[in-house]
Amino acid sequence: MDSNWDRYYSTLKRVPRRLRVTAQFVVDAVSVFKKDGVKKVLDLGCGAGRHSVLLGGKGFEVIGMDVSRNAVRMAGRWVRKEKLENVAFVVAAMTNIPLIDRCVDAVVSVSVMHHALKKDVVTSVKEVYRILDRNGWFVANLASVNDPRYGTGRMLEKNTFWILEGYEEKRFGEVHHFLTKDEAFRVLNAFSRRDVTVLEDKTNYWKVVAVK
């Protein structure tokens, strides 16, 4: 599958330091998952693999999934180096997750699901709901309309812009759908519990915690 993300990962010789540091809200989720008996976790949009490695190291059975084959290759190399046999990977798009209904206990997704047009954000959340088992957890961040990048770049539709990601010296265009708090809440309407708060350490994102 070709994408700008795929080209981005092809420019990386190894996983850079900033893609090794894990998101605090995923670290926090680990103890919640353990307490709740979570066993299988999907790392949706796993990128170079930092959260797949974290969760695998904590003993969960992990599937890392990403639309970029180069990202998955990189993540696979990292997992093999760590000798984690409980982490597997798949190359696929979040709008069409190649997993059967109700097969995972939790989905984590860091800085992924807003990289889409609104309709694809909605479809992807439906896919997450479909593959989650009853009482399964969905923990993610979503770009907020309060992000300073909101309104920059080329407008594709309401609240969706084609803007430049600026990682290190490599800049590449990506779609961003920025959500209001109400919209994030509405997108999660199928879930029995849903919480949308400002992400503490990155206030331009919403933190989403939902239970099926």
Stretch that binds ligand SAM, among 34-42, 67-75, 176-184, 197-205 (CB under 6 A): 67-75
Q: Quick check: helix, strand or coil at residue 120? A: helix
Do residues 127 and 97 touch, judged by C-beta distance below 8 A? yes
Told to check if 50 binds ligand SAM by CB under 6 A, we report yes
Tokens coding 3: 């994408």
Q: Judged by CB, which is closer to ligand SAM: 126, or 193?
A: 126
- Number of neighbours of residue 29 by Cβ within 10 angstroms: 21
Nearest one of 197, 180, 198 to 210, comparing CA atoms: 197
154-157 β-sheet, strand order: 154-157, 160-167, 170-177
Q: Judged by CB, which is closer to ligand SAM: 110, or 208?
A: 110
Told to check if 74 binds ligand SAM by CB under 6 A, we report no
Told to check if 64 binds ligand SAM by CB under 6 A, we report no
Overall size of the chain counted in residues: 212
Residue nearest ligand SAM, CB atom distance: 47
Told to check if 72 binds ligand SAM by CB under 6 A, we report no
Q: Judged by CB, which is closer to ligand SAM: 86, or 111?
A: 111
Told to check if 5 binds ligand SAM by CB under 6 A, we report yes
Told to check if 79 binds ligand SAM by CB under 6 A, we report no
What is the contact mask toward ligand SAM in residues 154 to 193, using x (rule: CB under 6 A)? ----------------------------------------
Helices (H), the chain: 4-10, 24-35, 50-57, 69-81, 118-131, 181-187
Which of 111, 123, 146, 204 is in the footprint of ligand SAM by CB under 6 A? 111
Residue 169 φ/ψ, nearest 5 degrees: -90, 0
Told to check if 68 binds ligand SAM by CB under 6 A, we report yes
What is the contact mask toward ligand SAM in residues 115 to 134, using x (rule: CB under 6 A)? xx------------------
Do residues 143 and 175 touch, judged by C-beta distance below 8 A? no
Q: Judged by CB, which is closer to ligand SAM: 92, or 103?
A: 92
Tokens coding 69: 């084959």
Do residues 116 and 177 touch, judged by C-beta distance below 8 A? yes
Binding-site ranges for ligand SAM (CB under 6 A): 5, 19, 45-48, 50-51, 66-68, 71, 93-94, 110-112, 115-116
